[in-house]
A = this chain, B = another copy of it.
Amino acid sequence: MRTIDPVKHAAQRRRILRAASTCFADKGFHRTRTADICARVGMSPGNLFHYFPSKHAIITTILEQEGTETAAHLTEPGSTADPLAALFTLVDAAVALAADPTYAVLTLDTAAEARRDQNIGALAARNDRQLRTGIADLLRRAVAAGRIDDTLDPDRAATWVTAQIDGLFARGAADPDFAPLDRAPTLHLLLTRFLGAEPT
């Protein structure tokens, strides 16, 4: 029996996930063949299957990782001390991701595919709910801390903050001239004014 080095195994999985993301962004989920991923990562199909049993398992792993990364942002220690700053940090992390065209187009594909594939749908819905309720929670705590307008309904406000993050990725994919980092100050202004927050 082969001995598996867990560090090397994890590194190979990350390489495969990156290669697969690029393939999905280039050709879409359905037109990407496992052979395309193998070619990009420089690995035989037999070897690839040591890491992922199927193309579908790669997609669901990408979504699971996304959920883990969002959770890490939402639970970072700073969010307790300053929920409003934590919200802006989360938005800035999304801005940085949207600046990556592969990630931006993959986000749109996943959202569309979520309607058609039950597993992808369940994972995408869980990620979305986590982000939305996480933002609502930050807003609720920002209201309690007197940092934002207390007449806002945190859940309703969170819907539109989340929509703004969705829209950020859609801009990245739709508008060739869109430079998220360059446009971020106006996004900060929008959120600051909407939330009735003190300008930072």
Binding site for B on A (CB under 8 A): 25-28, 30-31, 101, 105, 108-109, 111-116, 124-125, 128-129, 132, 153, 156-157, 159-160, 162-171, 173-176, 178, 183, 186-187, 189-190, 193-194, 196
Question: Which residues of B are found within 8 Å of A183, using beta-carbon distances?
Answer: 156, 159-160
* Copy count, this protein chain: 2
Instruction: Sample 16 A-B pairs with CB under 8 A, ordered by A number.
Output: A28-B28, A28-B112, A30-B30, A108-B111, A114-B174, A129-B175, A156-B186, A159-B183, A160-B187, A160-B190, A163-B170, A166-B170, A167-B168, A167-B170, A190-B190, A193-B194
Complex Cα–Cα for A89 and B168 (A): 22
Contact status B159-A171, CB under 8 Å: yes
Given contacts A162-B175, A164-B167, A166-B174, 12 further A-B contacts (CB under 8 A): A25-B115, A28-B112, A109-B112, A112-B112, A115-B173, A125-B175, A125-B176, A160-B187, A163-B164, A163-B187, A164-B164, A166-B167
Q: Which residue of B has the minimal Cβ distance to A185?
A: B156
Closest Cβ–Cβ distance, residue A149 to chain B (whole Å): 9
Provide the main secondary structure of the chain A interface. helix
Complex Cα–Cα for A116 and B29 (A): 12
Complex Cα–Cα for A171 and B165 (A): 10
Complex Cα–Cα for A170 and B98 (A): 15
